[in-house]
Amino acid sequence: MINFKNDYSDGMHPKILDLIVKTNNELLTGYGTDKYTSLAKELIKKEINDENADVYFLVGGTQTNVVGLSLIPSYGAILTCDTGHIATHEAGAIERTSAHPLIHIKSIDGKMDFYDLEVKVKMHKEDQHMSYPKAIYISNTTEYGTIYTLKDLKKLREIADKYNLYLFLDGARLGSALTAKSNDLTLELINQYTDLFYIGGTKNGLPIGEALIISNPNLKEGVLQTIKQRGALLAKGRFLGLTFYGLFKDKLFYEIGQKANDLANELKVGLQKLGFKLYANNDTNQTFVYVKNKDLEYLSSKILFESFVTLKEETIIRLVTSYVSTKEDVENAIMIFKNIK
Amino acid sequence: MINFKNDYSDGMHPKILDLIVKTNNELLTGYGTDKYTSLAKELIKKEINDENADVYFLVGGTQTNVVGLSLIPSYGAILTCDTGHIATHEAGAIERTSAHPLIHIKSIDGKMDFYDLEVKVKMHKEDQHMSYPKAIYISNTTEYGTIYTLKDLKKLREIADKYNLYLFLDGARLGSALTAKSNDLTLELINQYTDLFYIGGTKNGLPIGEALIISNPNLKEGVLQTIKQRGALLAKGRFLGLTFYGLFKDKLFYEIGQKANDLANELKVGLQKLGFKLYANNDTNQTFVYVKNKDLEYLSSKILFESFVTLKEETIIRLVTSYVSTKEDVENAIMIFKNIK
Amino acid sequence: MINFKNDYSDGMHPKILDLIVKTNNELLTGYGTDKYTSLAKELIKKEINDENADVYFLVGGTQTNVVGLSLIPSYGAILTCDTGHIATHEAGAIERTSAHPLIHIKSIDGKMDFYDLEVKVKMHKEDQHMSYPKAIYISNTTEYGTIYTLKDLKKLREIADKYNLYLFLDGARLGSALTAKSNDLTLELINQYTDLFYIGGTKNGLPIGEALIISNPNLKEGVLQTIKQRGALLAKGRFLGLTFYGLFKDKLFYEIGQKANDLANELKVGLQKLGFKLYANNDTNQTFVYVKNKDLEYLSSKILFESFVTLKEETIIRLVTSYVSTKEDVENAIMIFKNIK
Amino acid sequence: MINFKNDYSDGMHPKILDLIVKTNNELLTGYGTDKYTSLAKELIKKEINDENADVYFLVGGTQTNVVGLSLIPSYGAILTCDTGHIATHEAGAIERTSAHPLIHIKSIDGKMDFYDLEVKVKMHKEDQHMSYPKAIYISNTTEYGTIYTLKDLKKLREIADKYNLYLFLDGARLGSALTAKSNDLTLELINQYTDLFYIGGTKNGLPIGEALIISNPNLKEGVLQTIKQRGALLAKGRFLGLTFYGLFKDKLFYEIGQKANDLANELKVGLQKLGFKLYANNDTNQTFVYVKNKDLEYLSSKILFESFVTLKEETIIRLVTSYVSTKEDVENAIMIFKNIK
């Protein structure tokens, strides 16, 4: 069985496991005050070239969205793609826990439609009975594996500044985004153009862990207490510090993302050659492909994957590669797809 | 330097690490649907002798308090010792995140004063302008290492039933509580007399992990969504399932607690022999001892510990043993204390 | 200038004012414990033929939505028409204050599409990463003046029961709904088929005031505290009790609604005779009519109204009648419209 | 029966009623956009001598506390007297609705102990596991009728500035406070030294209504949306604007407060002459007096009042005068007390 179900089926990258094993006997202080956490923060600040940024390590993606958006003034609403993770697959975490209303913006292949964004912001700002926009939430890669370009990010910053909004970037799959062929962003640029963002670890080889980075000074007060209040402060913070240290000390972060992308791109090329139609074509680690509904049973018996959109006669399925995927996985998958062509 | 600072300075118990290493190459399904999580749930249900209980694995203590108390009807207030963890050291997590008001009850050596509990419940129930009591929160061991007996728990259940309250037990240090010499409770009894409770892993040899157990059917709806909404659902749930599996398959849970207690008791006996006065004397892994303020500097240079209460000429300091503490640590500590007598 | 802007431009019905004037010198107990509040509750319980219902008087519509939905278990999401008041014009009150996520359901002329309702409920119940449906919110009349029939309400109850959902009815304009020609519902039937609902006073001749009625025993605990916690408990509760007493003691409630509807229906007939196209045609007090954009300036100089939907060459405007509108208002309005035909 | 139960048993001051009657037939725009609301805002800005302040009219005291404190950054905790209204008699409104934790500060006769305030602020700021102080809440008059002086307010401002805290003043009984003989504050000074505060109408002759005044520019964004989200935006805002207009156009606000105080002071003098001991002696409209428990039944048969603190043999009862109290009420009450001396 080929596992293209997701990028969190693995335990953790061997280099990370190695660090955990080697340091297990050390007695360290708790709640993120240990030396590995400090080292990891320094590495990240260096990577984003911003000594003044505040870096916090959290456990998971939804948690980091909840904590990050909890820093947005409580009277504000969050602008998100209608396909955004917080709008669809976080069980209403933002509404219930950070208690911000969401405003849904149209999306094109998972990316925010800037025209609709501006229309909605104006409409809401003009009518005091509507929710009050205060932050834009995007994710990179998006839910459909597409990525934002530097031009996109500049445009979003421009809109954010024009309407006095904060800009938050969910980087659960930022490793894949930043190593895509078509990518022209860097961690430094993302830090520069957003107010806060996070770097995902869980879907990039870590057992747990996301790094929240805050550059806007207005959002830097009360953060540790917010983290604690949301139940997100890890007693044995060493496991976050240590693993992010491992991820950034030798650029493992990029290596893991790159490998996942390379395999995905081989897969995409293979599928297209066979005549399969891709949805939201991208060069990151997620591949969305149309398959006939009658072939789903056969495919499911050979490959683990998720169905995304069910249409009348076709289904868009998602195939995800990761650093544990292999060239053989890709080649075998292409063979299997050949059988249904 | 002897480390009696806390019971979460360690990485994790070697047997747990071993499990992680051995299973790292397995590809498993996410969000707690993996086989180890199922096995761990079965072990715990067997241990509490309740097939109908719902078991969820969460990451940390404050998180489990937030999630567990989020299940209490939202109009209700939570009754807690004035020294309770949620009342003092969770940065207001309950008020901000589960949005329940707290009602402070007097405590004696960290245990709830049942008389004051009933006085406050009645007072609040009679005045509709006061917050409305709906749940009792206790922790075992308490913040002062003391423990509740079966008689205590029966009394709390009786009060809870009389006033239509839920009973929640915070078991961050339940391993130590259940292996104390004076203990007469079991996981089965705790499950029987509470509506929901949790078994702490982080302070008992795990890297992360607390097991929330819900027996009251009224509290079983929407739990997974609540966990997700509080940012507490782990993508790689395997690390929670696996470690709790390790903790319960060969009674490691009790072994770890027992070792911490045994060393603590040796320490207590030693200190008392030297004439030191203990505060909130108990037979669990926390030792509270009065030391003269003038001796703090010397002690701090030899032993890592925390100061709990600062008085005019004395300070109550806390010494915590764990499964990584050694007989030598205890003996050396007693020698050091001898020097200040 | 003809005022068809809304149904809350008036002060209050003269009979209500009379009651306030006559009782002003009485000294009464506070927070809803006065005799007029008791009398009003009795009148309403009689009207709904349910001695066991709990009746509370609140100040405004959004407040009553917030309080009523705050009683829904906190883990649940609220299903609402995409055009529902809570989904559009309450500034995100539900998300921020009762902290429930909303699930948008398609609407047809302001009424919930039952097919889409069931599709969304199933989809959300099957995916634990989506928000968890727990209540259906409808309003009657709807935002477009349309009304639900007994058959509709039975169908909604059926769906609610099938999926274990509560059913909440926002009756801000219930007076108009229940006196519409096509209406076959009564307060008794609404109470019977919903779990909780409210009767609007503000848009039906009262200065302030909405009556929340709870029939489901599961929702009756902690209500007064919830009202207090949401800042919705009026110290001088007499003004709510007294005015609802005035509204129900001689069926003034229906008289006010009837007059508004009768005038609206004359207006609708007149506009249609002139060839104007109505949107979401209904027989309640709101009239939605298409007018050419070029005529808006002229119309605005003669009639106060609100624009609802702006299209390329046309705008759907809303004309609202109330008990203070007159036959002359309607006749004059028709003359004015004649000028733009 | 003499009614000293509270200062909200009345309907409303005749001059206010007169305004309501006279304007009832006017058709006005909703949600606070009417002319009377504008006039009232102008009067208040003039009274506080601050053209830049933002003024909002809300319905009740708890509501205004909830809304005002909702503007404080969500990560912050609120410092309040342990006897403060939000800490005791708002059913946990702040914790549940604005979701801020409270930090209890010792009080002396209802006034905040500045020493304890500073101790607690420092303690909380130093320990990141404790809630994070961000605002001071006081009320004037306090729950015990005592008042803050200019010196007090300057000291509070100094502490607030030192620790980066906002200062909020609950003025539910500000009319009585500002007309007390010993008072040296004015609305202008209060506006100058606080960040936001409110002027109570309900307990000072209005049917409903409190005026929230915000001077700190950091707190001025998203206020209307916050009001709406808390269900506190009145559709017929005219009733708030109109009544505050009536309260301030001819200094009625002070006249009402003065009359209540004068009568209370006669009562206090009378009771002291008879040898009764006063608790928290003050010169505002609340009188707290010790009476023997055996005399409570007799007193209750002659005077309406509330019991505040029940001691072994005595009870501290509260007698409240208002503008509807009379000289005869006071004289008769003194006679009644004479009977139990």
Taking a contact as any Cβ pair under 8 Å apart, which residues of chain B between 228 and 247 contact chain A? 228-236, 238-239
Chains that touch D (3 or more CB pairs under 8 A): A, B, C
- Using a CB-CB cut-off of 8 Å, the residues of chain D touching B128 are 91
pLDDT at A341: 87
Task: Name the amino acid, one letter, at B191.
Answer: N
ipTM for the complex? 0.97
Interaxial angle between packed helices C14-23 and C238-249, expressed in degrees from 0 to 180 and rounded to the nearest 10: 130
Task: Answer whether B277 touches C (CB < 8 Å).
Answer: no
Task: Answer whether A52 touches B (CB < 8 Å).
Answer: no
In a mutational test of the A interface, the residue from B13, B23, B24 whose CB has the highest number of chain A CBs within 10 Å is B24
In a mutational test of the D interface, the residue from A29, A165, A219, A225 whose CB has the highest number of chain D CBs within 10 Å is A225
Residues of chain D short of pLDDT 50, as ranges, are none
Q: What is the per-residue DSSP string for A275-304?
A: TPPEES--SSSEEEEEEEGGGHHHHHHHEE
* D332: nearest Cα among D266, D279, D257, D247: D266
Which residue in C70, C131, C223 is closest to B225 by CB distance?
Answer: C131
In DSSP terms, which residues pair with C317 in a beta bridge?
A: C289, C307
CA distance A71 to chain C (A): 14
Evaluate if residue B341 carries a pLDDT over 90.
no
* D135: nearest Cα among D69, D213, D222: D69
pLDDT at C123: 97
Please state whether A235 falls in left (phi above 0), alpha (psi between -120 and 50) or beta: alpha
Chains that touch C (3 or more CB pairs under 8 A): A, B, D
Contact B70 C71 (CB under 8 A): no
What sign for the dihedral angle of Cα D305, D307, D308, D313? positive
Q: What is the per-residue DSSP string for B158-197?
A: HHHHHTT-EEEEE-TTHHHHHTSTT----HHHHHHH-SEE
H or E stretch covering C35:
helix C35-48
Query: What number of C-beta contacts closer than 8 Å exist between A and C?
Result: 56
Task: Answer whether D122 touches B (CB < 8 Å).
Answer: no
CA distance B151 to chain A (A): 32
Contact D70 A75 (CB under 8 A): yes
For the segment C184-243, what is each residue's pLDDT rounded down to a tens digit?
A: 999 999 999 999 999 999 999 999 999 999 999 999 999 999 999 999 999 999 999 999
Which residue in B75, B92, B99 is closest to D131 by CB distance?
Answer: B92
β-strands C2-3, C303-304: how paired?
parallel
Q: What is the CA radius of gyration of chain B?
A: 20
Which residue in A75, A222, A229 is closest to D226 by CB distance?
Answer: A75
Helix (H, G, I), strand (E, B) or coil at B333: helix
- Using a CB-CB cut-off of 8 Å, the residues of chain D touching A73 are 73-74, 221-222
Share of chain D above pLDDT 70, in %: 100
pLDDT at D341: 87
- Using a CB-CB cut-off of 8 Å, the residues of chain D touching C237 are none
Which residue in D21, D91, D238 is closest to C225 by CB distance?
Answer: D91
Distance between CA C201 and CA D28 in Å, rounded? 17
Residues of chain C short of pLDDT 70, as ranges, are none
Distance between CA D17 and CA A187 in Å, rounded? 65
- Using a CB-CB cut-off of 8 Å, the residues of chain A touching D76 are 222
Task: Answer whether B78 touches D (CB < 8 Å).
Answer: no
Question: Cβ(C128)–Cβ(B228) under 8 Å?
Answer: yes
Taking a contact as any Cβ pair under 8 Å apart, which residues of chain A between 12 and 51 contact chain D? 31
Question: Cβ(D305)–Cβ(D4) under 8 Å?
Answer: yes
β-strands B132-139, B166-170: how paired?
parallel
pLDDT at D4: 98
Shortest CA distance from B207: residue in chain A: A236
Task: Answer whether B124 touches C (CB < 8 Å).
Answer: no
In a mutational test of the B interface, the residue from A13, A21, A236, A240 whose CB has the highest number of chain B CBs within 10 Å is A236
pLDDT in tens, chain A (341 residues): 999 999 999 999 999 999 999 999 999 999 999 999 999 999 999 999 999 999 999 999 999 999 999 999 999 999 999 999 999 999 999 999 999 999 999 999 999 999 999 999 999 999 999 999 999 999 999 999 999 999 999 999 999 999 999 999 999 999 999 999 999 999 999 999 999 999 999 999 999 999 999 999 999 999 999 999 999 999 999 999 999 999 999 999 999 999 999 999 999 999 999 999 999 999 999 999 999 999 999 999 999 999 999 999 999 999 999 999 999 999 999 999 999 98
CA distance C173 to chain B (A): 28
What sign for the dihedral angle of Cα B209, B210, B215, B216? negative
- Using a CB-CB cut-off of 8 Å, the residues of chain D touching A132 are 222, 225
* B269: nearest Cα among B326, B334, B204: B334
String of b and e for D86-97 (b: at least 16 CB within 10 Å)? bbbbbbbbbbbb
Question: Cβ(D212)–Cβ(D55) under 8 Å?
Answer: yes
- Using a CB-CB cut-off of 8 Å, the residues of chain B touching C223 are 75
Query: What number of C-beta contacts closer than 8 Å exist between B and C?
Result: 51
* A199: nearest Cα among A188, A183, A212: A212
For the segment B280-329, what is each residue's pLDDT rounded down to a tens digit?
A: 999 999 999 999 999 999 999 999 999 998 999 999 999 999 999 999 99
Shortest CA distance from A224: residue in chain D: D128
Which residue in C89, C99, C127 is closest to A95 by CB distance?
Answer: C99
Question: Cβ(A87)–Cβ(A102) under 8 Å?
Answer: yes
Distance between CA A100 and CA A92 in Å, rounded? 10
For the segment B217-228, what is each residue's pLDDT rounded down to a tens digit?
A: 999 999 999 999
Question: Cβ(D338)–Cβ(D271) under 8 Å?
Answer: no
- Residue with the two structure tokens 């990050």: A68
Which residue in C3, C60, C228 is closest to D90 by CB distance?
Answer: C228
* Number of H-type helices and E-type strands within chain A: 14, 15
Task: Answer whether C126 touches A (CB < 8 Å).
Answer: no
Taking a contact as any Cβ pair under 8 Å apart, which residues of chain D between 294 and 333 contact chain C? 324
Task: Answer whether A63 touches B (CB < 8 Å).
Answer: yes
Contact B74 D96 (CB under 8 A): yes
